[in-house]
Structure 1
Amino acid sequence: MGPQVPEKPSLDGLEDKWIERWEADGAYRFDRTRQRGDVYSIDTPPPTVSGRLHIGHVCSYTHTDTVARYQRMRGKAVFYPMGWDDNGLNVERRAQLHYGVYVDTRLHYDPDFQPPDPVPRKPVPVSRPNFVELCAQLTVELEKEYRELWTRISLSVDWSYLYRTIGPDVTRISQLAFLRLLGRDQVYRVEAPTLWDIDFRSAIAQAELEDREIPGAYHRLRFHKLDGGDVQIETTRPELVPACVALVAHPDDERYQPLFGTEVITPLFGVKVPVLAHELADPEKGAGIAMICTFGDTTDVTWWRELGLTVRNVMGHDGRLREVEWGELEWQSTDPGKAREAYAELQGKTSAQAQKRIVELLDESGDLVGEPRAITHPVKFWENGTRPLEIVTNRQWFIRFPPKDVLLRHGEELRWHPDFMKIRYQNWVEGLTGDWNITRQRFFGVPFPVWYPIDDE
């Protein structure tokens, strides 16, 4: 007698049955014995474990899975691992919101700490070790949900190669790699101007940047010549006048050639700064002569480095103008009292607040020429940030990039699909302006295996 056909066919348990069968049979297991030419390797960036999954994730990973299945049908041994990107800014932000906490580095570890329930409107302070534990706990919970969903939709990944971007093994590998680079003099530490996200209090690498068009305004300001008269410049960041270290114009610009090698005095703060020449100055931009501040943008960094200028940094890591001592060291002024009085109106304010106030002060002093001219211009943001990046000085670790011609030569050794990705890579290499900043001022991540002496410095 043949098998009985049920009166009401049911799908109950069908998914679980086949999920278990495929796992038991090793249907998607990578065959390490196959020759290299028979291997199709998929290096899918691991999803960031910082929130709930949605239909967009399913759609995106289904694309890759379709390719994996097609290559298996062609007889390839498909290397298709899965991992979790579970450290850094995004996870910390998720943990802060999920548990209603923030880090207070002055607090000591509390082995009995429990996050508040329900989550309070006002976050409660926790120690760094407690916060790291909460981040780790949250990632474990979210990773379980991620794997359940990927399994439920039958992504054909080899789960035996599951990896995480944080944990004892990864931390050890990363730290050993760092020490190896240090021994080869391929990594170095420096107090350097750094692109800084003021909300997440962390340095941002060039690969994490994006330009966004935002409204702004050109302000025309008067700088005063020592022998009388003035020089007019235009800037979108008048709040950085106290950080001005020079004026710069193109060496072929006849309008400003007589000024090269002379000094002018900054408005409000009375600082003598040199007038210099540099090829990056654009005669067609603004007044054709620019204010170099430390630091308003990445061009300022280039000018500062190549012209050997001093650092006069006013922007704090919290995005507010920090306290400075006019009349001391790099804060010399022809009138320190007046400089202190003007700066007192700006100290402690955000960039936007300080800009509004200094425009009023410049107008009152007669150093603002005409009305601000509204523009829209590109400004650098962290790709996941909500406010423009600032440039601050900080202790940072950098990995030395190989020369650009070496990177471009390696690009020529690859076959690119589609072809335009090769052009994108070449443009990325040509756009590199410095070494790779690997420092992140975060709590949940891989720590540098470095100890610093506690002394007067």
Structure 2
Amino acid sequence: MLSQDEILKRMEEWPKHYNPKDIEPKWQKLWLTQEYWEKIFKFDENSEKPVFFIDTPPPFTSGELHMGHAYWVTIADAMARFKKLQGYNVLFPQGWDTQGLPTELKVQYKLGIPKENRDLFLKKCVEWTEDMIGKMKSAMIRLGYRPNWEQFEYRTYHPNYRRVIQRSLIEMHQKGMIRMKQGPVYWCPKCETAVAQSEVGYLEKQGILVYIGFPLKEGGEIVIATTRPELLGATQAVAVNPQDERYKHLVGKKVILPIFGKEVQIIADPDVEKDFGTGAVMISTYGDPQDIRWQLKYNLPVTELVDERGRIKGTGFLDGLKVEEAKKKIVELLKERGYVRKIESIKHNVLSHTERSDCLSPIEFLVKEQVYIDVVPYKGKLLEEYKKMNFKPQRMASKLEEWINNIEWDWNISRQRLYGTPLPFWYCDNLHLVPADISSLPVDPTKSNPPVEKCPHCGLPLKPLTHVADVWVDSSVTVLYLSGFYENKLRFSKTFPADVRLQGTDIIRTWLFYTFFRTLMLAGNVPFKRVIVHGQVLGPDGTRMSKSKGNNVSPMDRIDEFGADAIRMTLLDASIGDDFPFKWDTVKGKKLLLQKLWNASRLAYPFIHGRKLEKPEVLHPIDQWILAKHKEFVEKAIQAYENQDFFVILSMLYEYFWETIADEYLELIKHRLFSDDRSATYTLGRILKDLIILLHPIAPHITEEIYSLIFGEKQSVLLETLPSTEDIKIAEEVVRMGDSVKKFNSLVRTNKVKMRMSMNSQIRVELQGPKQFVEDVMKVEDDLKKTLKITEIAYREADQLDVKISPT
């Protein structure tokens, strides 16, 4: 047995303050070593262990790891570490969504590389991408994130990944699902490319509603209210509701377009809103999706007035003006010529490029030759099959269902850019597509010859398709790529479908939907068993983070001060799916909890380090009580990990560890520890080790450090297994006794504070209370006396509980 001086000396070997700035980078470097990778983090394809596959989002390579990234990084890492402790062979990838317009714009304008120099431009795009990946990866590692970097780090521009993208497109073409056609497309003039329906949405903006008098050919006029007067020249008809009594007599008559002089017919259609404006509307090609529906329904002519850069063309007097400039000018002209009846300022919904937060520009509709994947014909199948995936929270399933129901267009996968996956097709003037040979992939049709000299459908010459793929075409094959769908049948048999898809609410209609759709069409099954959709991390003011609002917070801002573990705990202390504000004061509170764990470990160190602690035949009643509490904590924590309810574990840490172990149990057993009581040392060692193991997925750095200093039987906490509590069988009276003791302690300490006495003051105690309570306290009277500095306890049975103290 160690003397008291030896114990205190050993305790001094342990630093009083936990310093994450020193400890965390040490463990991050160790986790990245070859030795740790092979023993802990490697995915073993030949292992007989059950597999757990997490499909994590490949973030766009912006170079900045924002708080949203930090959130899913933390969730994913906690899940992966827990599953390792549970005995799973974890496939934990990390990809990078490398191709896209933002990188092109950086290279074009920041680096000054012209797009015309294609090879140099693409080379610089890759260089920029790799630089951005380096910055983001460093930040991820600093947060304690440890995926399978060595095996499953992928980039969407890499040849191996492109091969899967292109092969999946060729197979969908073989199934008759991909075609090239000419027609109206969503077009972003700012980004100068077509976009898909999933990338657009409505934003409320300030605008005008112009009431214009259209002369009737037979005399008189009909007044039309429009928010798009600049498209007057593209008007093909005027529509009214067939039930609108004001206009029934005008249906079939002709009107003359002001300024342009063109004659168009008045038609009746039930989709016209009688209560909007005047109840009469222009059908222009194209002002909005409804115009497209009407144009197709009535086979109306098409007049294009807007070019790829959002400028007016084909009018003469408006040509070259941007849409907003043309709007102002034509309103002035209409006023001058007496056609304007009134103008109202309104707030209205404008279809915009919402998928890219740095764009948000209004969408135009242009007629283009584009490549489409059929989606609309499969809506019924999709609405049935998505039910095979479990959602957390369940309400997120309705968001996917709502999106599927709202799909009106097939998926336009063509993008008019350079830095993207080439679409592996050639085409003829009749718009027949001819795919590349699978053996030639990855292929760039602009640099390779077609597999045949002429179109096999019509005999016309073939031209290379210069379009690149929508970025969601790239990222929607993550599960197929990682599971080895095309190239590794053994891995595919073990890993498909993925166990978990982790993502945010903002990409339900893009990444989630497209992965679900493509995997179902190609592999015949849903891509994941479970979909976990997390909420957004808000600014400290409770609103969405924005640099312009000044509430933007980076996880790297104060990570050296508070540590990655405290940040991780803060991010995980919310129910999955809920939005929550991020505050550094909360992080500070989490660091205090970690300091409390550090202090408790420092106290335990001299008594349990390097010792084999065997369970004694008889346990002290107080140790029995804490083991009962421990059993409850362990079982609830494991269940919470299974459900990704990390906030439950963190909540229990305060109640179980801080309030019960640190504030009560450790104080009650100190005197027994110094006398080398086997029951106390065994129990303390057991609950502390279990606690370290269970906290590890959430706070990996401090737990590795404490484990290595106190236990260290193995190289890492991750080589341990989850705690078992099967041997803990505690009677109800023991639990009751412990709770009575806890209450007694609290009453004594409260009285000392009220009497302005120090906690070390010697006192006498008079306890009155129910018989059972009194008997519970009497069972451990000696421990209570030593812990609370009590010289004498007088007992009296009474209905009401009361404790009186007096100095000795």
Please give the alpha-carbon distance, in whole angstroms, between the structure 1 residues aligned to 2:48 and 2:207. Answer: 58
Name the count of aligned residue pairs: 410
Q: 2:30 aligns with which of 17, 36, 40?
A: 17
Deviation at 1:166, TM superposition (A): 1.4
Change (3 A) 1:172 1:250: same
Residues 41-89 of structure 1: CA deviation (Å, up to 9, x unaligned): 3222101013333455334411332233233334444322100000011
Change (3 A) 1:408 1:364: same
Q: 2:80 aligns with which of 68, 77, 81?
A: 68
Residues 329-384 of structure 1: CA deviation (Å, up to 9, x unaligned): xxxxxxxxxxxxxx3321110001100000011011111112x1011111122122
**AA aligned opposite 1:25:** E
Structure 1 position 419 matched with structure 2 position 432? no
1:393 alignment partner, SS class = strand
Please give the alpha-carbon distance, in whole angstroms, between the structure 2 residues aligned to 1:199 and 1:51. Answer: 22
Structure 1 partner of 2:252: 261
Residues 174-229 of structure 1: CA deviation (Å, up to 9, x unaligned): 22322222233211111111111111111111111232111011100111211101
Structure 1 position 435 matched with structure 2 position 410? yes
Task: Return the TM-score normalized by structure 1.
Answer: 0.83
Q: 1:216 aligns with which of 207, 218, 235?
A: 207
Please give the alpha-carbon distance, in whole angstroms, between the structure 2 residues aligned to 1:349 and 1:247. Answer: 25
Deviation at 1:267, TM superposition (A): 0.7
Q: 1:138 aligns with which of 124, 128, 145?
A: 128
Task: Return the TM-score normalized by structure 2.
Answer: 0.48
Deviation at 1:453, TM superposition (A): 5.7
More deviation, 388-397/378-387? 378-387
Structure 1 position 252 matched with structure 2 position 264? no
**AA aligned opposite 1:83:** G
Please give the alpha-carbon distance, in whole angstroms, between the structure 2 residues aligned to 1:254 and 1:403. Answer: 40
Please give the alpha-carbon distance, in whole angstroms, between the structure 2 residues aligned to 1:26 and 1:233. Answer: 73
Structure 1 position 399 matched with structure 2 position 373? yes
Aligned partners of 1:65 and 1:156 also within 8 Å = yes
Aligned partners of 1:267 and 1:362 also within 8 Å = yes
Structure 2 partner of 1:156: 146
Change (3 A) 1:17 1:409: closer
Aligned partners of 1:319 and 1:351 also within 8 Å = yes
**AA aligned opposite 1:374:** S
**AA aligned opposite 1:420:** R
Please give the alpha-carbon distance, in whole angstroms, between the structure 2 residues aligned to 1:162 and 1:6. Answer: 43
Aligned partners of 2:242 and 2:270 also within 8 Å = yes
Q: 1:381 aligns with which of 352, 355, 363?
A: 352
Please give the alpha-carbon distance, in whole angstroms, between the structure 1 residues aligned to 2:14 and 2:78. Answer: 33
Change (3 A) 1:21 1:129: closer
Deviation at 1:417, TM superposition (A): 1.9
Q: How does 1:41-440 map to 2 (within 5 A)?
A: 41-54=53-66, 56-104=68-116, 127-159=117-149, 160-322=151-313, 324=314, 343-370=315-342, 372-382=343-353, 383-384=355-356, 385-401=359-375, 402-440=377-415
Please give the alpha-carbon distance, in whole angstroms, between the structure 1 residues aligned to 2:382 and 2:372. Answer: 17
More deviation, 149-158/377-386? 149-158
Please give the alpha-carbon distance, in whole angstroms, between the structure 1 residues aligned to 2:106 and 2:89. Answer: 37
Aligned partners of 1:202 and 1:440 also within 8 Å = yes
| Structure 1: unaligned runs, 5 residues or longer | 105-126, 325-342
Please give the alpha-carbon distance, in whole angstroms, between the structure 2 residues aligned to 1:302 and 1:156. Answer: 50
| Structure 2: unaligned runs, 5 residues or longer | 1-9, 430-460, 464-808
Please give the alpha-carbon distance, in whole angstroms, between the structure 1 residues aligned to 2:72 and 2:12. Answer: 38
2:33 alignment partner, SS class = helix
Deviation at 1:321, TM superposition (A): 0.6
Deviation at 1:416, TM superposition (A): 2.0
Larger radius of gyration, structure 1 or 2? Answer: 2
Structure 2 partner of 1:337: none
Please give the alpha-carbon distance, in whole angstroms, between the structure 1 residues aligned to 2:107 and 2:45. Answer: 38
2:204 alignment partner, SS class = strand
Deviation at 1:280, TM superposition (A): 1.6
Q: 2:41 aligns with which of 21, 28, 40?
A: 28
Deviation at 1:299, TM superposition (A): 1.2
Change (3 A) 1:249 1:157: same
Please give the alpha-carbon distance, in whole angstroms, between the structure 2 residues aligned to 1:236 and 1:103. Answer: 36
Please give the alpha-carbon distance, in whole angstroms, between the structure 2 residues aligned to 1:64 and 1:249. Answer: 54
Structure 2 partner of 1:338: none
What RMSD in Å do the two structures reach over aligned CA positions? Answer: 2.6
More deviation, 256-265/185-194? 256-265
1:276 alignment partner, SS class = strand
More deviation, 93-102/389-398? 93-102
Change (3 A) 1:210 1:65: farther
Residues 418-450 of structure 1: CA deviation (Å, up to 9, x unaligned): 111111011101110110110111100111223
Please give the alpha-carbon distance, in whole angstroms, between the structure 1 residues aligned to 2:31 and 2:306. Answer: 59
Deviation at 1:388, TM superposition (A): 1.0
Residues 3-62 of structure 1: CA deviation (Å, up to 9, x unaligned): x999998948723234326644342233445689x4433222101013333455334411
1:211 alignment partner, SS class = strand
Deviation at 1:241, TM superposition (A): 0.1
**AA aligned opposite 1:185:** G
Change (3 A) 1:34 1:205: farther
Q: Whose relative contact order is higher, 1 or 2, with alpha carbons under 8 Å and at least 6 apart?
A: 1
More deviation, 148-157/11-20? 11-20
Aligned partners of 1:244 and 1:293 also within 8 Å = yes
2:414 alignment partner, SS class = coil
Structure 2 partner of 1:335: none
More deviation, 203-212/148-157? 148-157
Please give the alpha-carbon distance, in whole angstroms, between the structure 1 residues aligned to 2:348 and 2:233. Answer: 23
Deviation at 1:407, TM superposition (A): 1.1
Structure 1 partner of 2:688: none
Aligned partners of 1:250 and 1:283 also within 8 Å = yes
Please give the alpha-carbon distance, in whole angstroms, between the structure 1 residues aligned to 2:13 and 2:89. Answer: 42
1:220 alignment partner, SS class = strand
Residues 277-328 of structure 1: CA deviation (Å, up to 9, x unaligned): 2222111111111101111111111111122111011000110011x2xxxx
More helix by share: 2
Aligned partners of 1:398 and 1:436 also within 8 Å = yes
**AA aligned opposite 1:344:** G
**AA aligned opposite 2:396:** M
Change (3 A) 1:21 1:56: same
More deviation, 380-389/441-450? 380-389
How many percent of aligned residue pairs carry the same amino acid?
32
